[in-house]
């Protein structure tokens, strides 16, 4: 655990930023590890693009409870979602301009709604991103097992394999992941747009082979559609809006000018997503499609538009690949968010570290590990995870929209009332969606999110208080006393004579005014003989340093040594006591398993029982050493 020099201990409300995010300047080598607008579309929009595969289906499955009459409301519900999508895209363009350092909902809420609300937004985003990885991977594998049923029993292992692949790609840099995913994204978007175009020119379905023999999920006898059902359909379909916030969260990942490129990416994403959602809903009504068990709505639409031929399988394969890779959105957005939280002392500071390819490796690895646990927990079942996924999305959207209302009110630019009204309308709709999904899915697993959200916020607060305590103890932000010389005593643990012992004592003499060599002896014939041999060899060697024997009745090493060091500190007030622990460092990693770990045992005991400084001297053993 460490604190950055000069870093504030408490998070306040920073002044509004209008500058580009700090970091690599144009023309530097690091720019090639950042995103263009097209690369950003492929790296950060996969979640939103893939949601068209289950967004319309979620609407249809809810409306199917009201029978064929209920399915007639598919297009109106989708149009309402498209309107909200437009509001969100316009809002997040403003978020990008106002917060070029990224952070999305967290940055907006922290500035305009206060620290606690910002932490709630951050917690919801973290849950959203983690669950997006699990949902995307399981949905992609579900498409695969639908085409190849014999793989159904191995879906959990396949999910973990896909997760490992996406993680490995992202560890090589966000630009590399974007390049790898441009082709799948283009194939998916192209196939969906072609399918919509072809379907609009058909008078009826070209084929219904995919749904043949499957039980219908359509309700019977219903002739009315209530407001609650429409709200549920709207809330279910809003899963198609997931991912639109990812661009705003990852603005620093774009090339300069980052904010402008991110805004272009956001608009392109919203336009593509809106066209695909509305087009698919039109086809659902045109073909009078009915949901069936075991076959996705998108598969039925591909069958109806293209027929049961090669084009049908291209759509299925592209959907499978994109759904599986949609997890990349989280890998692009969450590590940036975690780095901002770490900078504000709400997460461990190692999450803010970047690798040589502009990768927050700790965030990537942490995301992969938690998502892997969720995949194992769910057994690779999408339906287990989707209810958990939606709530975090809606909470983050609602907080961000409410924060932007405050943003417009504080700035009051021209036309601010219209902008604030749009954001307020969006906050109302997403807030209603959050309440509806939580209430309807509470017993199906949504209670986990209701529990996890406040626990994450509490964890943020605990970490922040810990950093504040450390900072106060270190007096960060204050001018320290000038350095001065104090008498020092260096203690070196020894167990025998060797070149390592000689180097350790030489280093100790360079570090301290006084040096003591300490060995721990035990009762027993063999141990007593070893102690006598060491004492005899020490007298023959005559290094000019006293050898102190610390007797221990039990065969312990760490505790007797730490007790002796503590007594030394008490008997030498004003002295700085340093324990210099000599250790060998083998040429090969596997050879470390051959070491006796005495240095680790002593260091652990000293750290636990004393305030002495620990210095570990590494003696490298090269491959050609005898």
The residue among 31, 9, 32, 33 whose CA lies nearest residue 20 is 31
Residue 313 C-alpha from the chain's centroid: 33
Please give the residue that has the higher pLDDT: either 464 or 81: 464
Confidence of residue 460 (pLDDT cuts 50, 70, 90): very high
Per-residue model confidence (pLDDT) at position 19: 42
Residue-wise DSSP of 33-55: GSB-HHHHHHHHSHHHHHGGGTH
In which region does residue 511 sit, left (phi positive, over 0), alpha (psi from -120 to 50) or beta (all else)? alpha
Spatial contact of 511 and 580, defined as CB atoms under 8 Å apart = yes
Q: In terms of C-beta density within 10 A (0-12 exposed, 13-18 middle, 19 or more buried), how is residue 15 classed? A: exposed
How much is the average pLDDT of 180-198?
85
Could you tell me what percent of the chain has a pLDDT over 70?
Answer: 83
Per-residue model confidence (pLDDT) at position 177: 60
Q: Is it the case that residue 240 has pLDDT exceeding 70? A: no
Sheet containing 613-620: give its strands across. 546-551, 514-521, 488-493, 576-585, 613-620
Q: Is it the case that residue 459 has pLDDT exceeding 90? A: yes
Which positions ≥6 away from 279 have C-beta within 8 Å?
192, 193, 196, 200
How much is the average pLDDT of 107-122?
87
Per-residue model confidence (pLDDT) at position 13: 36
Per-residue model confidence (pLDDT) at position 27: 47
How much is the average pLDDT of 24-42?
64
How much is the average pLDDT of 253-271?
85
Per-residue model confidence (pLDDT) at position 293: 72
pTM as predicted: 0.69
Per-residue model confidence (pLDDT) at position 176: 59
Mean pLDDT computed over every residue of the chain: 79
Q: Is it the case that residue 3 has pLDDT exceeding 70? A: no
Per-residue model confidence (pLDDT) at position 317: 83
Residue 601 C-alpha from the chain's centroid: 34
How much is the average pLDDT of 464-482?
84
**127-159 residues labelled b (16+ CB within 10 A) or e (exposed):** bbbbbbbbbbbbbbbbbbbbeeeeeeeebbebb
Spatial contact of 565 and 606, defined as CB atoms under 8 Å apart = yes
Interhelix angle 74-98/258-286, rounded to 10 degrees, is 180
Residue 252 and residue 358: Cα distance in Å, rounded?
10
Tokens, residue 174? 């966000």
* pLDDT tens digits, 575-591: 889 999 888 877 777 76
Please give the residue that has the higher pLDDT: either 375 or 578: 578
Q: Is it the case that residue 232 has pLDDT exceeding 50? A: yes
> What is the sign, positive or negative, of the torsion defined by CA atoms of 350, 355, 361, 363?
positive
How much is the average pLDDT of 556-576?
87
DSSP 359: -
Confidence of residue 380 (pLDDT cuts 50, 70, 90): low
């Amino acid at each position: 655990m460490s604190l950055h020099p000069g870093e504030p201990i408490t998070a306040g409300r920073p002044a509004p930023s209008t500058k580009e995010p700090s970091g690599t300047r144009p023309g530097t080598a690091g720019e090639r590890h950042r995103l263009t607008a097209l690369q950003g579309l492929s790296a950060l929009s996969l979640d939103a693009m893939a949601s068209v595969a289950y967004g319309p289906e979620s609407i249809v499955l809810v409306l199917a409870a009201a029978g064929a009459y209920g399915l007639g409301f598919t297009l109106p519900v989708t149009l309402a979602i498209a309107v909200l999508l437009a509001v969100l895209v316009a809002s997040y363009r403003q978020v990008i301009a106002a917060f070029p350092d990224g952070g999305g909902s967290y940055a907006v809420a922290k500035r305009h709604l206060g620290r606690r609300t910002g932490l709630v937004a951050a917690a919801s985003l973290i849950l959203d991103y983690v669950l997006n990885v699990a949902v995307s991977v399981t949905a992609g594998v579900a498409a695969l097992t639908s085409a190849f049923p014999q793989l159904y029993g191995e879906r959990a292992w396949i999910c973990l394999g896909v997760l490992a692949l996406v993680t490995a790609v992202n560890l090589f840099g966000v630009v590399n992941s974007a390049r790898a995913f441009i082709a799948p994204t283009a194939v998916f978007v192209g196939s969906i747009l072609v399918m919509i175009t072809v379907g609009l020119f058909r008078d009826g379905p070209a084929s219904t082979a995919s749904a043949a023999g499957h039980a219908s999920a359509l309700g019977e006898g219903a002739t009315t559609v209530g407001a609650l059902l429409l709200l549920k359909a709207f809330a279910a379909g809003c899963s198609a809006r997931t991912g639109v916030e990812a661009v705003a969260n990852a603005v620093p990942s774009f090339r300069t000018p980052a904010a402008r490129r991110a805004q272009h990416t956001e608009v392109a994403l919203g336009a593509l997503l809106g066209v695909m959602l509305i087009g698919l809903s039109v086809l659902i009504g045109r073909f009078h499609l009915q949901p069936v068990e075991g076959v996705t709505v998108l598969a039925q639409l591909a069958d109806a538009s293209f027929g049961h031929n090669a084009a049908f399988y291209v759509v299925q394969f592209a959907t499978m690949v994109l759904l599986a890779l949609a997890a990349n959105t989280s890998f692009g957005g969450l590590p940036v968010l975690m780095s901002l939280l770490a900078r504000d002392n709400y997460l461990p500071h190692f999450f803010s570290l970047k690798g040589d390819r502009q990768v927050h490796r700790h965030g990537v690895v942490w995301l992969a590990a938690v998502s892997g646990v969720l995949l194992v927990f769910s057994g690779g079942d999408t339906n287990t995870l989707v209810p958990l996924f939606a709530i975090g999305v809606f909470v983050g959207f609602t907080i961000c929209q409410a924060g932007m209302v405050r943003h417009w009110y504080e700035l009051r630019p021209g036309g601010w009332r219209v902008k604030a009204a749009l954001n307020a309308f969006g906050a109302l709709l997403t807030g209603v969606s959050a309440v509806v999904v939580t209430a309807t899915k509470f017993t199906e697993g949504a209670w986990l999110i209701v529990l996890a959200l406040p626990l994450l916020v509490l964890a943020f607060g605990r970490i922040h208080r810990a950093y504040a305590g450390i900072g106060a103890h270190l007096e960060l932000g204050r001018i320290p006393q000038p350095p001065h010389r104090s008498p020092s005593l260096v203690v070196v643990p020894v167990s025998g004579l060797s070149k390592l012992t000689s180097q350790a004592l030489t280093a100790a003499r360079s570090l301290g005014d006084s040096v003591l060599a300490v060995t721990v002896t035990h009762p027993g014939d063999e141990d007593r003989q070893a102690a006598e041999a060491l004492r005899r060899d020490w007298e023959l060697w005559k290094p000019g340093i006293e050898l102190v024997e610390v007797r221990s009745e039990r065969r312990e090493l760490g505790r007797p040594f730490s007790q002796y060091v503590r007594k030394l500190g008490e008997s030498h007030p004003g002295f700085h006591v340093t324990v210099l622990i000599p250790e060998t460092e083998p040429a090969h990693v596997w050879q470390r398993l051959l070491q006796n770990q005495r240095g680790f045992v002593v260091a652990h005991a000293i750290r636990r029982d004393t305030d002495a400084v620990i210095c570990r001297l590494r003696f490298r053993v090269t491959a050609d050493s005898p």
